[in-house]
Structure formats: structure tokens, C-alpha cells
């Protein structure tokens, strides 16, 4: 799936490169041009906060398919990770969130509330307490809508949102 996605993105970039071809000359290496554009257009920085009221400050975020996403989760509260821990877990489409959340609780604090060997997770941060931040980098999946949750026990019902990939 990733391979075909990469092919699509590369194809799109080639199309774009051709579109701007009027100004290019024969001495310019097409490959150099493509690489420069990839760096420019394929990175995204996201930030989201969790608080002591068991809330994310964003219910929806948007990125481009195939983008290298750097997401920072900040815990703006003061409560300890054991009492009000937060993480950010991006789930594959079709994942039953309730079932996943139950498995996450079983994974426990040692497993960072992510079931070992799970295939349902696209990306996740570690679990943090008040005043802390954590960052995760991942490649945005193909276009679609993906759910994210905090998988700390009991939080997912309140702490969930949608990542829209365009």
C-alpha cells in the first residue's frame, strides 16, 4: 500500500514539475527539481494538547497524504501520569475503538497503553503527565479520515478526534 502511495505522490510531483516546465532549461536535472519539491511540500507539523479535564484541545486535524508529520502532544495540566496520563494514538481505518481501548488498558502502563504487536496503530506517542510534552514522527497514510484517541484507561470516550488526510 505504501509503495503504491509513494508512486502516486511521485507521479503527482512529476505532473507538477512538468506544469512548471516552461521556465526550466535543459541543463537542469529533473531529479534535483523533484527532490527539492518533496522537501518543501511533504512535511507537516501538528500540535495537540491534553488537560486535567480529560480533553484534547482539537477534535480535528488535517494533513496531506504521504506527508512526514511531526506531532507534538503537550499535557497542559498538573496531574501525574498515573492519574491523568495522556497519549495520542492514531488508529487504522476500520478499527473498533472500544475493542482497541480495552486491549490498551490490558497493555497497562508498562506497555504505554498500546497493545503489544497491534496492527491497528499507525502512530502513537508515549504517555505523559502534567507539564510534559512528547513528539512522534510518522508518515501520513493515504487520503481518508482516521480516528485518534488517548488510550489511557477510561479516556477514549472523551479524548478522541479525527485526522483528515487529503
Binding site for Zn ion (CB under 5 A): 86, 150, 152, 155, 159
Q: Cβ of residue 24: shortest distance to Zn ion, in angstroms?
A: 50
The DSSP 8-state label assigned to residue 147 in this structure reads E
Strand ranges for the chain from DSSP E: 43-50, 60-63, 68-75, 89-91, 121-124, 133-139, 144-149, 160-165
Measured in whole angstroms, the distance separating CA 67 from the mean position of its chain's CA atoms is: 10
Cell numbers given for 69? 508529520
In the complex, what is the shortest distance from the CB of residue 47 to Zn ion, in angstroms, rounded to a whole number?
Answer: 16
Distance CA 59, CA 81 (A): 22
CB of 49 to Zn ion, least distance (A): 11
Distance CA 138, CA 129 (A): 22
Taking the complex as a whole, the smallest distance from the CB of residue 128 to Zn ion amounts, in Å, to 9
Cell triple for 64: 496531506
Nearer to Zn ion, 56 or 146 (CB): 56
Name the residue nearer to Zn ion (CB basis): 91 or 159: 159
Query: Looking at beta carbons only, is 86 or 124 nearer to Zn ion?
Result: 86
Q: How far is the CB of 39 from Zn ion (least distance, A)?
A: 34
Alpha helices in the chain (DSSP H): 2-19, 30-41, 81-84, 97-107
Identify which of residues 5 and 54 has a Cβ nearer to Zn ion in the complex: 54
Q: Which is nearer to Zn ion, 9 or 51 (CB)?
A: 51
Q: Which residue is nearest to Zn ion (CB)?
A: 150
Amino acid at each position: 500500500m505504501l509503495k503504491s502511495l509513494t508512486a502516486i505522490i511521485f507521479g503527482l510531483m512529476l505532473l507538477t514539475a512538468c506544469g512548471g516546465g516552461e521556465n526550466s532549461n535543459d541543463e537542469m536535472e529533473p531529479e534535483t527539481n523533484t527532490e527539492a519539491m518533496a522537501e518543501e511540500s511533504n512535511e507537516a507539523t501538528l500540535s495537540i494538547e491534553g488537560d486535567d479535564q480529560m480533553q484534547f484541545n482539537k477534535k480535528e486535524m488535517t494533513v496531506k497524504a504521504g506527508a512526514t508529520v511531526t506531532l507534538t502532544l503537550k499535557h497542559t495540566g498538573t496531574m501525574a501520569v498515573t492519574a491523568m496520563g495522556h497519549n495520542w494514538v492514531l488508529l487504522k481505518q476500520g478499527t473498533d475503538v472500544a475493542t482497541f481501548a480495552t486491549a490498551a488498558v490490558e497493555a497497562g502502563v508498562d506497555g504505554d497503553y498500546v497493545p503489544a504487536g497491534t496492527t491497528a496503530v499507525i502512530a502513537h506517542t508515549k504517555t505523559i503527565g502534567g507539564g510534559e510534552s512528547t513528539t512522534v514522527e510518522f508518515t501520513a497514510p493515504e487520503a481518508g479520515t482516521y480516528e485518534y484517541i488517548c488510550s489511557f484507561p477510561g479516556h477514549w470516550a472523551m479524548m478522541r478526534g479525527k485526522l483528515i488526510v487529503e
